[in-house]
């Protein structure tokens, strides 16, 4: 059913139905403005497209006749045939709702609303679901206000090819009126309702990956320390990886344009490549690359961010559509940023996760040789939960990083080229060796990934909790990326070097700076994207998903922690 509201004070009936189905779904959609499509929603949109193009009109009911029964002898057989009316918009100020009725059968002054559902007849005693019964009952109330007699409705289940009659009882009418009033109150609520617990409704829900019902409940009942082997019985209700991927354009002087639903990259008269917009999750422009206004407009409309990097691949910013208009998460973020104890709580989780991942990377690659260093890092990690301010945490983080990068060169495979890489410590601005150049480039890619994820949640990536706000620095994105540095970027650098995807000859030196040539950039982007798209078992929730999905989930859980939906923010650490 596709509803239309004739007045801003009227509640579209579909909102009432969604509230009955799941109050949390209702809140995400109609209070916070969240939406995501899946196969089922796209099928539903297509099914209603014909009705939306051809709105109908509801005829007035015939006047009551005072003639005796014999006076009706002149009615023809055609007069006895029910009239079918489609796609009629109705509203009621008294009820406070509006709706578009897909189909109804009219016979004299009697009306029967009919709803088509794609599934099969339920096996429960009512042979229907409560949201469906409420939907029909509300339609019946609207028809009664038009002067029709309406004592039942019909649901046609396409999966079973069967019709189920729904009687409009006084009990159903009373429940429907209560639901309408409750939905109106819920539309003004600022806090998220609790998720459904182990509900089959979550399976197939297009907002399950935004709602995160099982993850939220698992974090609420988790012990103070994360379980070593993750939580049990957490269903993965969102895709393991996205079909759409980032499109990088690095050719200097090229231009991105639009042709139909396709992005086309040209340099002069030469066509360099193309990609369908539906297959692009981000458009990344590196350096002197331009984009047409038409391409920019269609990407903003499709909520595909346009990421701007310098030729040296510093992250400058991004262009995106209006996207999420929810201000509640951002208000909670600013409120938390004013509370030093909450900032410290979050910062401890970030530093602990990052340091743990750095230590485990050394343990994995240097199981014996790295033991003295990993022991020292473990000692520092034990101090993190007891840090009393952010400066102390910064000191601990720096000490852990110094010991970690002091052994990082040993993780590079000895292929006779280790000395040529020239890495002995972490440095930047400018990086002085090929490994540091790749690390800096990778961190720029990662911070843009985290910025996109935070903006998608309605958070302000520039206002941090651990990294303090500073003009031109996406502080909250830097907060979010910390735990992922060793897991994604450092691992991608090791893959690029150890699998000989790059060599020292792919870099050039300019003064003290070491710069990546085009060949090195393309090779590292490939290593980085392979890592981002890699499927793994989620360390906390135990299901399979990609690193890009995990970043998105962490941004979502950060927003939920800020709003009080989960009791603590937990960093991601590998097992």
Residue 222 lies in a domain: no
- pLDDT-derived band of residue 568, with 50, 70 and 90 as boundaries? very high
In which band, very low, low, confident or very high, does the pLDDT at 222 lie, cut at 50, 70 and 90?
A: low
Q: Are residues 179 and 112 in the same domain?
A: yes
User: What pLDDT, on a 0 to 100 scale, did the predictor assign at position 76?
Assistant: 53
End-to-end CA distance of the chain: 47
Q: What integer pLDDT is reported at residue 33 of this predicted model?
A: 83
Residue 52 included in any domain: yes
Q: Please indicate, yes or no, whether residues 292 and 334 belong to a single structural domain of this protein.
A: no
Q: For residue range 294-349, what is the model confidence (pLDDT) as tens digits? A: 999 998 888 888 988 877 667 777 887 776 666 888 999 999 999 999 999 999 99
Q: Looking at the structure, do residues 411 and 551 belong to the same domain, yes or no?
A: yes
Say if residue 136 is in the same domain as residue 159.
Answer: yes
pLDDT tens readout for residues 464-510: 999 987 776 889 999 999 999 999 999 999 999 888 898 888 888 87
Q: What is the pLDDT of residue 309?
A: 82
The pair phi, psi for residue 10, each rounded to 5°, is -90, 140
Distance between CA atoms of residues 215 and 234, nearest Å: 7
CATH at 518: 1.20.120.920
Whether pTM > 0.75 for this model: the answer is yes
Same domain, 381 and 490: yes
What is residue 386's predicted lDDT score, i.e. its pLDDT? 93
- Number of folded domains that form the chain: 3
Instruction: Give yes or no: residues 41 and 182 share one domain.
Output: yes
Examine the domain organization and report whether 336 and 392 are in the same domain: yes
Residue 61 DSSP one-character state: P
Q: Is residue 460 part of a domain?
A: yes
Task: Give 416's pLDDT tier (boundaries 50, 70, 90).
Answer: very low
Q: CATH number of the domain at 107, please.
A: 3.90.320.10
Q: Rounded to the nearest 5°, which phi and psi values hold at 420?
A: -70, -25
Distance separating alpha carbons of residues 358 and 482, to the nearest angstrom: 11
| CA–CA dist 190, 321 (Å, integer) | 24
> Is the domain of 381 the same as that of 462?
yes
Strands (E), 39-129: 83-92, 97-107, 110-117
Which domain range does residue 291 map to?
A: 245-319
Mean pLDDT of the chain: 85
pLDDT of residue 415 exceeding 50, the answer is: no
- Assess if residue 462 is contained within a domain: yes
Residue 3: the pLDDT is 44
Instruction: Say if residue 312 is in the same domain as residue 457.
Output: no
Average pLDDT of the residues in 353-375 = 88
10 Å CB burial of residue 247 (0-12, 13-18, 19+) is buried
């Amino acid at each position: 059913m596709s509803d239309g509201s004739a007045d801003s004070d009227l509640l579209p009936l579909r909102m009432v139905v969604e509230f009955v189905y799941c109050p949390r779904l209702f809140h995400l959609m109609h209070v916070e403005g969240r939406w995501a499509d899946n196969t089922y929603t796209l099928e539903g949109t297509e099914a209603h497209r014909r009705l939306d193009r051809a709105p109908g009109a509801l005829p007035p009911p015939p006047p009551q006749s005072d003639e005796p029964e014999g006076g009706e002898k002149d009615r023809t057989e055609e007069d006895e045939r029910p009239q079918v009316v489609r796609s009629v918009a109705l509203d009621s100020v008294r009820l406070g709702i509006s709706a578009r009725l897909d189909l109804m059968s009219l016979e004299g002054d009697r009306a029967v609303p009919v709803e088509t559902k794609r599934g099969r007849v339920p096996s429960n005693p009512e042979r229907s679901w409560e949201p469906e019964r409420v939907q029909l009952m509300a339609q019946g109330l609207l028809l009664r206000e038009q002067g029709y007699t309406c004592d039942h409705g019909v649901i046609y289940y396409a999966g079973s090819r069967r019709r189920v009659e729904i009687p409009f009882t006084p009990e159903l009418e009373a429940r429907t009126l209560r639901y309408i009033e409750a939905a109106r109150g819920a539309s003004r609520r600022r806090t998220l309702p609790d998720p459904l617990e182990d509900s089959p409704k979550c399976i197939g829900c297009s907002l399950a990956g935004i709602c995160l019902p099982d993850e939220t409940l698992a974090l609420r009942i988790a012990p103070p320390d994360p379980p070593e082997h993750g939580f049990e019985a957490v269903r993965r209700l969102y895709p393991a990886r996205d079909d759409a991927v980032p499109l990088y354009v690095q050719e200097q002087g090229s231009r991105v344009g639009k042709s139909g639903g396709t992005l086309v990259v040209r340099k002069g008269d030469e066509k360099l490549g193309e990609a369908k917009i539906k297959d692009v999750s981000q458009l990344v422009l590196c350096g002197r690359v331009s984009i047409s206004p038409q391409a920019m407009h269609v990407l903003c409309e499709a909520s595909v961010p346009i990421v701007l990097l310098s030729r040296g691949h510093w992250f400058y910013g991004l262009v995106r559509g209006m996207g999420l208009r929810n201000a509640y998460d951002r208000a909670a973020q600013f409120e938390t940023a004013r509370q030093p104890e909450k900032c410290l709580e979050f910062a401890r989780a970030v530093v602990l996760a990052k340091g743990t991942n750095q230590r485990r990377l050394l343990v994995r690659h240097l199981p014996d040789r790295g033991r003295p260093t990993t022991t020292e890092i473990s000692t520092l990690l034990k101090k993190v939960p007891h840090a009393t301010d952010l400066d102390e945490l910064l000191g601990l983080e720096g000490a852990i990083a110094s010991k970690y990068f002091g052994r990082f060169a040993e993780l590079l495979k000895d292929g006779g080229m280790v000395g040529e890489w020239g890495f002995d410590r972490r440095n930047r601005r400018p990086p002085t060796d090929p490994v540091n150049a790749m690390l800096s480039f990778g961190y720029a890619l990662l911070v843009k990934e985290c910025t996109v994820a935070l903006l998608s949640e309605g958070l302000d990536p520039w206002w941090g909790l651990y990294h303090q706000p500073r003009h031109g620095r996406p502080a909250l994105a830097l907060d979010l990326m910390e735990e992922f540095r060793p897991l994604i970027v450092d691992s991608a650098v090791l893959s690029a070097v150890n699998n000989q995807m790059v060599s020292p000859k792919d870099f050039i030196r300019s003064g003290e700076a070491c710069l990546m040539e085009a060949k090195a950039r393309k090779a590292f982007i490939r290593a980085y994207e392979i890592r981002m798209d890699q499927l793994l078992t989620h360390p906390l929730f135990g299901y399979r998903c990609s690193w890009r999905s995990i970043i998105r989930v962490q941004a979502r859980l950060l927003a939920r922690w800020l709003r009080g939906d989960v009791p603590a923010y937990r960093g991601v650490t590998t097992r």
